[in-house]
Structure 1
């Protein structure tokens, strides 16, 4: 497998969906604290003791940390479709740290699990045996939008082992929508996969890391003074673990750890709260964690094989640079969405515009990302266009053209962009009609689902009629390049309209309206000549 020499602007660590999304935005994993994609600190920290000497391998040191704890040397980084692999060395020990998130688009239940794994592989590089201990801590900032919100914490017994949890005190579930926001409800869970030789504590990051660096051990008492704010000094405690690795030789020793986040309900969809897809058959946090522990070996092997096959395909298509870019894009593309289940068991897949305005289900975002989902699983494209079509079919959408979006993440109660449902000002009529017709035609080619076409046929026909009337010489309006402002006579929109109408002709053939298909094609040819 080709090793990735690209320096990513941000390295994916725990990247599942728009809220559970932790990255390293630095040259090495120890240069800065880990962060949410918005740039807000959501700290994961890691230390290692080698023969009694502490080193840092993840995160930057806490404020007022006075001990001299050197960083391990980061000697390699690989970013693969489902895994990010760091390699460090210090004092005769090599540490290979793998962040694994099984975003496998062909397996919706597994892809939707809000679970990531940290896999530690340790070996000696100098033919000597070394005593090794690992320290890991997680900040409760992962559970709140901003560090002045109060958090609580505790322990559960799940799958025969102790699992630490943290969450916001107020649990403001689906109370706000926006762009530069982080989750403020639900609970984070974390545990080593094997608890033998492990211990845990809730304590301030400064105190816990200082004690480990001095003694190779954890503090012996939890902080029980809650709630607290992560941003206040000394702040809310981190959840910290000690993993006794023991004597490390040339034969690698492996340890694994999981982090999960249960948000209970993920999306509000026309005043109904929708569960994440993994909860569709009655699963809960305890069953999720039990599955994540029991399935780890199979998941790891599956992801390794998947990465091998996909990176080879990428290399064949475009060489090593394409491997690097494609591997980065793979997780970015999937994790900019949230997979939920509707009341009838149907999967719905909502995108989020990140650092644009937070719109969700945006049609001119679905359009350029559609080749990814058509290749890896067309059902995920169906799960993106269905909410838009159902929105129009409900009668709420008052205009003859397609909507731009279905809300502002995570609240999908109707279009947010431009004039919303109230005005034609700042809409994208030709853009979105063309996009939707092309998307549905591509989806039909992939799945041949005639019942899907029949369900929405009148809507699709209305959009085709709109393009026939308005698409040849578009009026003054926005297109997907809305940063350019309103434009009349936009030739790009004219082309989009022609392609949309031609796609509709294909759909007419698919539904058995061959005469209409011929007539539509003749109109497209006439319009093209103009």
Structure 2
């Protein structure tokens, strides 16, 4: 909201990521709505200017772009993109898409004008005259950074009084193809049946009012649900996290027409479909549409069941975004990823009320469960998801994951009617839990590594025992851990473990969900809320930050903030 010279401007950016409607969810078109009115009872002449720069469609400003105008229905369409159009040709981290086209779609009316022109010239002309420089730039093509071109729209709203005046436009991006999946190019979900971008934009314009209504209803639902689950600060954190979690993913149409969802490791190496990124992301999918979690896991299962991956544990990732062809040199986290996959499969079964999805993949799940039986109790010198801290032999939290992975397999066996198998794995998990307690207890807390007294760590993996009601560990384990964590907090949060003062924002939320009362939950998340409000690192929420000064350590824009919804998931599944 902005005010100037007696006029109020409300600017609303709407990204309709409605998880229960995949057609709308996948539309790459966002609405920008302007609403203006007089604040002082007087009439004011109001003009608005909006533009989107051509450099949105390039990786670097030396790349050559071209542009054009067209019409669709009652809209003026402007687009810009690279001349080269090397579709899916650029992969990696901290790189920008340089294929496909950026669109600005402007519903036409008498007060509206649009042009593709030099950004500097366009702004200068508007400031001086209140009108758009309407002649289009004909110097095509040229480098994006050479007198940068912009897609511009202007509104001469005339005299505005206390009665609000509203206009809107759409920003869109047509990727053409969005993912390379084992050497096949996949279409975005919205275009799976051959829909063209002009039709998509026409549909989005037609649905403007109804989609905004649905988005407003969902925003209210999200706030009320998370407020009830964890309080005001928790609700505000989740409001911030929702769009980031899904924006770091891409929904594509698989070779068989099924939805496939791919995560990108933003600012942590650019991997695609990283299992230990899907794992912290998954609570948001389980809360709002479990189909999306299956869409995240289907590519992993295809990799494993197609013969491309032959090891007895889960892979780490499928390649470098947006190319998911698998890799020969991939980083491995055997216990980490295997435990993650089994736990997520139990979560899907809980959401579905049956184990049908697990039975489709029973052979590979059985192989993974046996791997955890063999190696999970006392992990060797393996990497876990917190790999930035280096290998951690005898890692107690990783052992918890293995134990709960085995228990999850037992739960899936039980739901599949395999009673003998269910009892075997569940009983084994309970025995391992008792062994874990004996190995890891250290006075008033639990150790980071079994062989290192005087250390401690967040046992965030333990949350799945509570959320899935596996009941493998005594509840006293979690409460003993929580009591200790409350004494370890810094100004901006609970450190990840005793080695450093940095932390992971997603894991704090999981650790806080271990608390058996709202007071302790809120005490554990309050410093994280303070971090988000006060961090000097002005980037999309970083999940790896310093608890002493709120500065980003690394990572940003990642989907793992979907893990903030763990408390919401627990309350949804266990409210009775």
TM range (shorter): 0.7 to 0.9
Aligned to 2:427: 522
CA contact (8 A) 1:360 1:409 kept: yes
C-alpha separation between the residues in 2 aligned to 1:94 and 1:482?
49
Judge which range, 220-229 or 346-355, deviates more. 220-229
Aligned to 1:141: 55
Aligned to 1:214: 128
Aligned to 2:411: 506
Scaled by the length of structure 2, what TM-score is found? Answer: 0.74
> Post-superposition shift, 1:316?
2.8
SS at match of 1:200: strand
> Post-superposition shift, 1:193?
2.6
Aligned to 1:480: 385
Structure (1/2) with the larger helix percentage? 2
CA contact (8 A) 2:51 2:153 kept: yes
CA contact (8 A) 1:165 1:189 kept: yes
Aligned to 2:291: 379
> Post-superposition shift, 1:239?
1.4
> Post-superposition shift, 1:449?
5.1
Scaled by the length of structure 1, what TM-score is found? Answer: 0.80
SS at match of 1:118: strand
C-alpha separation between the residues in 2 aligned to 1:139 and 1:292?
22
Judge which range, 213-222 or 124-133, deviates more. 213-222
C-alpha separation between the residues in 2 aligned to 1:122 and 1:377?
36
C-alpha separation between the residues in 1 aligned to 2:103 and 2:201?
8
CA contact (8 A) 1:137 1:240 kept: yes
> Post-superposition shift, 1:478?
0.6
CA contact (8 A) 2:282 2:293 kept: yes
2:91 corresponds to 1:195: no
SS at match of 1:401: coil
Aligned to 1:467: 372
Among 319, 335, 351, the residue aligned to 1:430: 335
Aligned to 1:95: 9
Aligned to 2:22: 108
Map Cα deviations across residues 298-332 of structure 1 (whole Å, 9 max, x no partner).
Answer: 01111111112221222333333223211110111
C-alpha separation between the residues in 2 aligned to 1:320 and 1:395?
49
CA contact (8 A) 1:161 1:195 kept: no
Aligned to 1:40: none
Map Cα deviations across residues 335-373 of structure 1 (whole Å, 9 max, x no partner).
Answer: 110111112110001111111000111111111121111
Extract unaligned runs of 5+ from structure 1: 1-86, 421-425
Among 324, 344, 350, the residue aligned to 2:236: 324
Aligned to 1:25: none
Among 80, 87, 98, the residue aligned to 1:184: 98
Give 1:206-245 correspondences, 5 Å limit: 206-232=120-146, 235-245=147-157
SS at match of 1:407: coil
CA contact (8 A) 1:433 1:500 kept: yes
C-alpha separation between the residues in 2 aligned to 1:149 and 1:195?
34
Aligned to 1:68: none
> Post-superposition shift, 1:510?
1.7
2:346 corresponds to 1:441: yes
Judge which range, 361-370 or 189-198, deviates more. 189-198
Map Cα deviations across residues 408-457 of structure 1 (whole Å, 9 max, x no partner).
Answer: 100000047xx32xxxxx51101111110000111011114544222210
Give 1:311-390 correspondences, 5 Å limit: 311-390=223-302
2:152 corresponds to 1:152: no
Aligned to 2:316: 404
Give 1:210-289 correspondences, 5 Å limit: 210-232=124-146, 235-289=147-201
User: What's the RMSD between the two structures over aligned residues?
Assistant: 1.4
Aligned to 1:119: 33
Extract unaligned runs of 5+ from structure 2: 436-576
SS at match of 1:408: coil
C-alpha separation between the residues in 1 aligned to 2:64 and 2:236?
40
2:193 corresponds to 1:300: no
SS at match of 2:298: helix
SS at match of 2:136: coil
